[in-house]
Amino acid sequence: MNTFCGRANPTTGALDWVEEGEEYDYHQEIARSCYADMLHDRDRNEKYYQGIKAAVSRVKARGERVVVLDIGTGTGLLSMMAVTAGADFCYAVEMFKPMAEAAACIVKKNSFADKIKIINKHSTEVTVGPDGDMQEKANILVTELFDTELIGEGALPSYEHAHLHLMQVGCEAVPHRATVYAQLVESEQLWSWAQIQPIQVEGNTLLPPAAVTQCAGAPAVCDIQLSQVSPNAFTSLGPLCTMFSVDFSQPVSSASQSHSCTFVAKASGKAQVVLSWWDLDMDLSGSIVCTMAPSWTYPNPRDYPWRDHWMQSVYFLPSERSVCEGEELSLTVTHDDYSLWYSLSNRDQMDVAAPCCTCQAHLVWTRPRFGELNDRRRREFYLSALQSILTPDSVCLSVSDGSLLPIFAHMLGSKKVFSLENSGMSRRVIEQFLEANSLKNSVRMLEIRPEQLTSADLEGEQISVLMGEPYFSTSLLPWHSLLFWYCRTALNQLLRPGAAILPSSATLYFIAVEFKDLWRIRAPCGTCEGFDVSPMDEMVQRSLDFRESREAEPHPLWEYPCHALTKPVPVMTFDFQQCVPDQPISSHGSVPLTGRGRCHGVALWMEYNLTDDITVSMGLTEPVSEEGECVWSMHRKQGVYFFRDPWESSGDGRAAVSYSLTFQPHLGDIKMDFSVTQP
């Protein structure tokens, strides 16, 4: 049965009623899942297999029947490994129904249906007994319940329940142990994602509110591909610390705990950030180790096993603290049943409360947004553009979420400044900045939709400068920021004739690329470690085909290196001087593949023309090098359109990427199709 669901349109700002079938959410989750990435993770798969074989051998050596419980089985891969290694029977638990159905199909296709039972439940709902889901308790526990933070998927409560109700005493576990590591560092780049720094505007300083600088920040972990953060971007203040370990073969507690590591500072600096990752010992001997350590910890970085389903974590201390070389420090990690947090504490101070944002800025702004607001070069572009259009008579209206532009406009001498805010929380954050800098009445904050704004709200004035970054909290894909254009259109009657619009226009670009690793998340697997997992490929493909047309996905490409195979191509320009048109905007053409490599798809981004001679890119921030190296903005996600079948480019320019794009104003969406053609 189809139902109508109300969804906020990120581009138009309108509430759209969309007819969707019952399976919509299933298809969405499957299409965006990381199963392909996990199946392509050979390092993970091989070490799980080695650990499983060792555990099965030990149980058999004791003369016991080998019964395996696989919690979070996914495709059933680890269960099939267990049976292949000699297990007598395996109970494979999978909560997500479509995934459980796929696992059952894969297990049957590989002729293991008589030895593997798929249980479509959460493990805490599984029962044991003659009429239960399991006929007997298991003596080997195999799990893959981990996320970048190790415990964020509820690993500890699941292990706790399994040991109490589903496992035999003295059971084996694969993995056997997890160990969490951390390193205290100073990093201007990383700290810029957590705190707003003082801002210089025409010789004056805009100070961040004390409520923001003293706030412990957002509780959620910052998970990134730490391998793409250069070691030159931080200074290590101490050694790599072993914070704590969890032995999964013994009863596990999900109760909150704290662990400290005391060390001597090896350098002076500002303690700001903790870099963290973990290892899995697949066997009790500690000889089979699967590590999440970033590439720059390897003697040869080329040996680094790339993966996206597990990355590394960045934690921000509640406040920065100056430390001196030789000073004794104590780094404390505390965890509840789902998350970790760090603090730099006194030796006898163990229990530290979880971070909680009290200033609201860390709830309004994402961490990349903090970095964007702290970007001096980007800020200078906006200040220069504002200076070129503002006059003492300017009446300015800002349309963005939580933007500092209206404060800049006042500091640059505008007559009146108004700001439209999307939410009360966003408005209050900007009001804190105004109060902290004694500018309380300099900017009129309006929590109202653009189409509802009247001349009375503007104190009888007409707008002479309409400005935006544009930044909106609802935007995911590059063109979602065209919401600024729709706001400009709704405000048209309130604009003075010849009013300045900043930015004046935006251009959509694309470039064909070969990804170093990101291609794995969408690549079919076929077989994995000798097992046929093609039903998973088929299910993912059906989910991708569920929509009427193919779509781009948002990805922060600074974390995912790629090699350019074409030049950057401007394919569509949106003129903010004019209102949103009624008719679609289309663009068709082709660009030759002049780079050598495997073309996995195209990357898309927006560039905003603030004035005729000042442009801000949300994608490439430097020209593509002769070798095809791409440098991407760290502040915004770019769009990625994957080809179903990669294309081997010889670089002779004979093959080309053909494109067809249509912007549909009534939908606020861009329908797109890319393909590789050859003569």
Amino acid identity for residue 626 in this structure: E
Domain boundary assignment for the chain: 35-144, 178-356, 375-502, 505-677
- Angle in degrees, CA 165, 166, 171, rounded to 5: 115
Instruction: Give the angle 112-116-118 at the CA atoms, nearest 5°.
Output: 125
| Residue 495 tokens, joined | 């604009």
Residue 440, classified by CB atoms within 10 Å of its CB into exposed (0-12), middle (13-18) or buried (19+), is exposed
| Measured distance CA(196)–CA(193) in Å, rounded | 8
Q: Beta 116-119 vs 89-93: how paired, if at all? A: parallel
Domain 375-502 CATH superfamily: Vaccinia Virus protein VP39 (3.40.50.150)
pLDDT of residue 204: 95
* pLDDT at position 436: 97
DSSP class per residue in 505-560? EEEEEEEEEEESSGGGGT---SEETTEE-HHHHHHHHHHHHTSSS---EEE-GGGS
CA 375 distance to own-chain centroid: 20
Q: 224 - beta bridge partners?
A: 312
| Phi, then psi, of 406 in degrees rounded to 5 | -60, -35
If you search the block for the tokens 């490599």, which residue do you land on? 597
Selecting among 144, 320, 469, 607, the annotated active-site residue is 144
- 505-677: what fold? Hnrnp arginine n-methyltransferase1 (2.70.160)
**Contact (CB, 8 A) for 118 and 104:** yes
* Residue corresponding to tokens 């009657």: 493
Residues of the chain with pLDDT under 70: 1-7, 16-34, 346-351, 543-549
Does the domain at 178-356 match CATH 2.70.160.11? Answer given as yes
* Helix or strand holding residue 485 (H, E): helix 483-490
Q: Phi and psi at residue 8, in whole multiples of 5°?
A: -70, 125
| Active-site residue identified among 46, 64, 153, 447 | 153
Determine the pLDDT at residue 549. Answer: 47
| Residue 64 CA neighbour count, 13 Å, CB half | 18
Measure the CA–CA gap between 111 and 116, rounded to whole angstroms. Answer: 10
- Which of 104, 39, 48, 75 lies closest to 525 in space, CA to CA? 39
Predicted model pTM: 0.94
Longest dimension (CA), the chain: 90
- Rounded Cα–Cα distance for residues 559 and 630 (Å): 11
pLDDT at residue 14, rounded to an integer: 80
What confidence score (pLDDT) does residue 540 get? 73
Whether 153 is a known active-site residue: answer yes
Check for a shared fold between 375-502 and 505-677.
no
**Sequence-distant (≥ 6) Cβ neighbours of residue 406 within 8 angstroms:** 396, 398, 417, 418, 419, 430, 443, 467
What the block records as the tokens of 382 is 């906006």
Which residue from 155, 196, 148, 179 is spatially nearest to 314, judged by alpha carbons? 148
User: Coil, strand, or helix at residue 668?
Assistant: coil
At the fourth CATH level, the homologous superfamily of domain 35-144 is Vaccinia Virus protein VP39 (3.40.50.150)
Task: Reduce the DSSP state of residue 436 to 3 states and report it.
Answer: helix
CA atoms of 278 and 591, how far apart (whole Å): 44
